[in-house]
Chain A
Amino acid sequence: MPQYSAYQPKAYRPQMSPYWYFDRWPYLRFMVREASCIFVAYFAVVMLLQIRAIEHGTAAYAHFQAWMSCPVVMILNAIALVLIIFHAVTWFALVPRVFVRHLLGPVMPDLFAAVPNYGAWFVASLVVALFALRFI
């Protein structure tokens, strides 16, 4: 004779590790890009300190530049540059994915659709560089 037990419902509780982003490369890549925000805030503060140094006189400006030459700061700047370029590249791929495909349908690969963004990035960088280096 079969043994029957009373039906005991159990709520479904999904288990997710707090370190879920180490499970797969795309998850880790997502989290690394999210972490770029720390360096966006860091470099925005650096730019504020640069403005403050320019306003405060020659000595303060020289002090700011000596600080920028310090190896620890240069390593921080290197990490900031890599992560923010990573943010930029994914952002440039995202914009045509949202707008162009919405209008035209999936007609072209991401990289090709993002070409106008890279062109605009180059022009924007050139204009900023000409001003920031005082060629204009």
Chain B
Amino acid sequence: MAVKVIIPTPLRAYAGKQESVEVQAATVGEALSALTARFDELKKHLFADDGRLRSFVNVYVNDEDIRYLQKDQTSVKAGDTISIVPSIAGGTGN
């Protein structure tokens, strides 16, 4: 199933400068695997060495945090939007 993954600004440099990427997947885990298979450099920004999603990166299916769904097993259907939302700290631009 084709789902859209929205790439946040800080990570676009590692995803071919694209704002969003369409992948074929049935779960969030599959979608992120498909994404990092296409953009190898994204992997270390999304996943820790143990393969788990980094704690400063949240993933949403539509408007729901996957931590409160079935995490990477959360199923996705055609037309769903997956958002990657990392923490950003900027405030003054200094």
Tell whether A pairs with B. no
Residues of A bordering B, CB below 8 Å: none
